[in-house]
Structure 1
Amino acid sequence: MASSTEKVQVEYRESVQSKSTTDSMATSPNNLNKIYITVEPLGEAVSKAIEKGDIGANDDFKIRARKLADDYGWDVTEARKIWAFGLGPDDSVNMLVNQTKAILHLVEVRSHIIAAFQSITKEGPISGLPMRGVKFNIMDIVLADDPANMGANEIVETTRRAINASILLANPGLLESVHSATIQIPETASSIASDIITKRGGNIFSEVKAAGASPYTIEAYIPAKKSSGLETILQTAIKGQVSVQLVHDHWRPLEGDPLDPESQIRNLAIELRQEKGLPAEIPSAETYFDKA
């Protein structure tokens, strides 16, 4: 939906930039269950296909697997083992894949593992934000002999810990929303507008002069954070009629490592944590996983 630029809600997402460096294992409180998780980037092509509705949780699993194999290079057998997607509109662009084989009692814990996965995609470990573009792999599970010892109280938080550790071992980062801006101004002010857009981190991709007295139209990509107040700034500089419409277009990774105490992105991650009432300190992977 297009919107004014006077008060833009800046949105961020959490993601990962590489495959986790090792399987992350967590043990249940009763010490009878273990789960091993890895995570990796889902890939932008698949992520966009989910956002467009070309791939989704409600698809026939065989048809979806064939599409992933034919169009995106997935192994068709692996693609048939997708268990779940993120649950809400903000975190649907994530997949949980069962990579295990012949695990006894797996059906007993499937819903618990999915619940843990979907809780993390809603609130990731860096800043408590929705996650985007992550593939979560269940690599192995060791389960108790008696199903009574593998209830939700044993499995959900255990899985959450393994997932969080995997994310923190996969070069985690933040994504920022980038808007597509349609800006209409007098043609005589085109150079002034272009300079302002560029200084605010924008990338102009189209400039059109319509026939007659119609306004000059500039289209540009601008980070959401730099979009707020753009219309007022242009009006002040141009002293003429200005119209700015914004719509979210894509996500862009922010530079830096939020786990690096010296990086600027860490300061942003901490600020976002505090806005959500979380402790300022970003947890380490060691906070979550257990040693074999």
Structure 2
Amino acid sequence: GTLRAGEELWLVNEKKLQKVLQVSLYMGATRELADEIPAGNIAAALGLDQARSGETAIDTTLKDKEVGAFEQLHYVSEPVVTISVEPKNPKDLTKMIDALRKLSIEDPNLKVKINEETGEYLLSGMGFLHLEVSLQLLRENYGIEVVTSPPIVVYRESVRAASQVFEGKSPNKHNKFYISVEPLNEATINLLASGKIKEDMDSKEMAKILRDEAGWDYEEGKRIIAIDENLNVFVDKTSGVQHLREVMDTVIQGFRLAMREGPLAHEPVRGLKVVLHDAVIHEDPAHRGPAQIYPAVRNAIFAGMLTAKTTLLEPLQKLDIRVPMDYVGNVTAVITRKRGKVLDMSQVGNVARVIAEISVSESFELASELRAASAGRAFWGTEFSRWAPVPDALLTDIIMKIRERKGLPKQLPKLEDFLS
């Protein structure tokens, strides 16, 4: 096909008609206008403002036919560093909000949200350098100077063992939920992260994949009723509980709310299997509303987490460094000093390639330290590697710092806090 200016296209994912105002080709950093772009070229189309990364645009004559879309883009990385931004000039606030929205469209790994308690605009990216580049684009492309807070590394809460079954009671004591938690295995987390397992897929198909690829029991796999965005699953193992079906949506929402802020430091929970074993539900709808169900579900989950070797997961970055052999010792010393680990090392001629893993929380000022250690001769790239448990020696200190930053009580939560 050929793409021409003035033509209308149908956006498959958005289900909208959009008009192409201009077509052009990129020649290096410049954009050259053209009347039409034939097939085989990488083109720029102006006017498709509703399109997002992964969109499929087709001819309008095909919109009512079963035309498959391109597969959605999947990102293996997650935003793990957050800063708050505000314009130097308060008059630029509206302009800044619009610019941040556009930046997040251009770069799906950049997340923008508002802290509802403080009114701050929060920008989250995959590392310090990612956010630095984004702020540079904000200045150069949109002419906005901003003031930023010190970067905050985002952690996840998880468990390392299975818990016993805990009873969660509603505030009015009329509803009871019997829940246990356990960690998901790595194979299950990978299936969820890759999108191979989704909440809305057929339960039998889901159970078959989990059985064959992650070692699940087939019957248990069929009973998964919710999967949240941080890769946690909710399994309903109950049978014949009166009135449970009527409140199940509220129970699932209670599960999602609990997964957003865990018990240790109100950080998101990751890689958790929550199992509902039994429940007692009050027959009167007035006594089983969200205000009763949410705390009951949350308290049982949190009690389970606190007895299942709960921990924080920290994001790790993978470093791929190329450096002259003379400076390898200096570079590996920087990595070791920052709680990093050298995974692999190879040599081609006089240049060494060092593959290493380092905690994102330790990577602040990494660029300047690597340059200093190698006299500016090291070249490196970074990418998100994985989530890993925080070393036990640092765990309490990190939890207390996060709790202090969030204005939470300066003591670790106890099991009794969630049992009534």
TM-score by length of 2: 0.61
Paired residue type of 1:63 = E
**Counterpart position of 1:242:** 378
Q: Does 1:125 align with 2:267?
A: no
**Counterpart position of 1:288:** 418
Of 48-57 and 165-174, the range deviating more from structure 2: 48-57
**Counterpart position of 1:260:** none
Q: Using the TM superposition, give the Cα deviation of residue 98 of structure 1 relative to its aligned residue in structure 2, in angstroms.
A: 0.7
**Counterpart position of 2:400:** 270
Tell me how far apart the structure 1 counterparts of residues 167 and 263 of structure 2 sit (CA, whole Å).
Answer: 16
Q: Using the TM superposition, give the Cα deviation of residue 11 of structure 1 relative to its aligned residue in structure 2, in angstroms.
A: 3.0
Q: Does 1:113 align with 2:255?
A: no
- Paired residues for 1:35-50 under 5 Å: 35-50=177-192
**Counterpart position of 1:198:** 336
Q: Using the TM superposition, give the Cα deviation of residue 186 of structure 1 relative to its aligned residue in structure 2, in angstroms.
A: 2.7
Q: Is contact 1:17–1:172 with CA below 8 Å preserved after alignment?
A: yes
Higher-RCO chain (CA-CA 8 Å, sequence separation at least 6): 1
Q: Is contact 1:23–1:38 with CA below 8 Å preserved after alignment?
A: yes
- Paired residues for 1:1-292 under 5 Å: 4=129, 10-20=153-163, 22-86=164-228, 88=229, 91=230, 93-210=231-348, 216-256=352-392, 264-290=394-420
Tell me how far apart the structure 2 counterparts of residues 116 and 249 of structure 1 sit (CA, whole Å).
Answer: 31
Q: Using the TM superposition, give the Cα deviation of residue 209 of structure 1 relative to its aligned residue in structure 2, in angstroms.
A: 4.2
Which one has a larger percent strand, Structure 1 or Structure 2? 2
Say which one has the larger Rg. 2
Tell me how far apart the structure 1 counterparts of residues 199 and 214 of structure 2 sit (CA, whole Å).
Answer: 17
Q: Is contact 1:41–1:134 with CA below 8 Å preserved after alignment?
A: yes
Q: Is contact 1:105–1:147 with CA below 8 Å preserved after alignment?
A: no
Tell me how far apart the structure 1 counterparts of residues 333 and 151 of structure 2 sit (CA, whole Å).
Answer: 21
Paired residue type of 1:206 = D
Of 223-232 and 125-134, the range deviating more from structure 2: 223-232
Q: Using the TM superposition, give the Cα deviation of residue 103 of structure 1 relative to its aligned residue in structure 2, in angstroms.
A: 0.9
> Taking structure 1 as reference, are residues 208 and 8 closer, same or farther at Cα in structure 2, changes over 3 Å only?
farther
Tell me how far apart the structure 2 counterparts of residues 82 and 143 of structure 1 sit (CA, whole Å).
Answer: 20
Q: Which runs of 5+ in 2 are unaligned?
A: 1-76, 78-125, 133-149
Tell me how far apart the structure 2 counterparts of residues 74 and 240 of structure 1 sit (CA, whole Å).
Answer: 51
Once the two structures are superposed, residues 107-142 of structure 1 have per-residue CA deviations (whole angstroms, 9 ceiling, x without a partner) of 111111111111111110100001111111111100
Tell me how far apart the structure 2 counterparts of residues 60 and 243 of structure 1 sit (CA, whole Å).
Answer: 47
Q: Using the TM superposition, give the Cα deviation of residue 59 of structure 1 relative to its aligned residue in structure 2, in angstroms.
A: 2.5
> Taking structure 1 as reference, are residues 243 and 58 closer, same or farther at Cα in structure 2, changes over 3 Å only?
farther
Tell me how far apart the structure 2 counterparts of residues 98 and 35 of structure 1 sit (CA, whole Å).
Answer: 11
What RMSD, in angstroms, separates the aligned Cα atoms of the two structures? Answer: 2.2
Paired residue type of 1:84 = A
- 3-state SS of 2:258 partner: helix
Q: Using the TM superposition, give the Cα deviation of residue 217 of structure 1 relative to its aligned residue in structure 2, in angstroms.
A: 2.8
> Taking structure 1 as reference, are residues 8 and 145 closer, same or farther at Cα in structure 2, changes over 3 Å only?
closer
TM-score by length of 1: 0.87
Q: Is contact 1:11–1:224 with CA below 8 Å preserved after alignment?
A: no
Of 77-86 and 221-230, the range deviating more from structure 2: 221-230
Once the two structures are superposed, residues 65-100 of structure 1 have per-residue CA deviations (whole angstroms, 9 ceiling, x without a partner) of 1111111221111111111112x3xx2x11111111
- 3-state SS of 1:279 partner: coil
Q: Using the TM superposition, give the Cα deviation of residue 165 of structure 1 relative to its aligned residue in structure 2, in angstroms.
A: 1.3
Q: Is contact 1:8–1:227 with CA below 8 Å preserved after alignment?
A: no
Tell me how far apart the structure 1 counterparts of residues 287 and 402 of structure 2 sit (CA, whole Å).
Answer: 38
Once the two structures are superposed, residues 148-199 of structure 1 have per-residue CA deviations (whole angstroms, 9 ceiling, x without a partner) of 3222122112211111111112111111111111223233322321232233
Once the two structures are superposed, residues 200-244 of structure 1 have per-residue CA deviations (whole angstroms, 9 ceiling, x without a partner) of 232223334457x9x643221112222222221121122132333
Paired residues, number = 277
Tell me how far apart the structure 2 counterparts of residues 114 and 69 of structure 1 sit (CA, whole Å).
Answer: 24
Q: Is contact 1:38–1:163 with CA below 8 Å preserved after alignment?
A: yes
**Counterpart position of 1:259:** none
Q: Is contact 2:187–2:213 with CA below 8 Å preserved after alignment?
A: no
Of 126-135 and 179-188, the range deviating more from structure 2: 179-188
Tell me how far apart the structure 1 counterparts of residues 411 and 332 of structure 2 sit (CA, whole Å).
Answer: 40
> Taking structure 1 as reference, are residues 250 and 116 closer, same or farther at Cα in structure 2, changes over 3 Å only?
same
Tell me how far apart the structure 2 counterparts of residues 195 and 27 of structure 1 sit (CA, whole Å).
Answer: 53
Tell me how far apart the structure 2 counterparts of residues 272 and 176 of structure 1 sit (CA, whole Å).
Answer: 13
Percentage of matched positions with identical amino acids: 31
Tell me how far apart the structure 2 counterparts of residues 176 and 80 of structure 1 sit (CA, whole Å).
Answer: 31
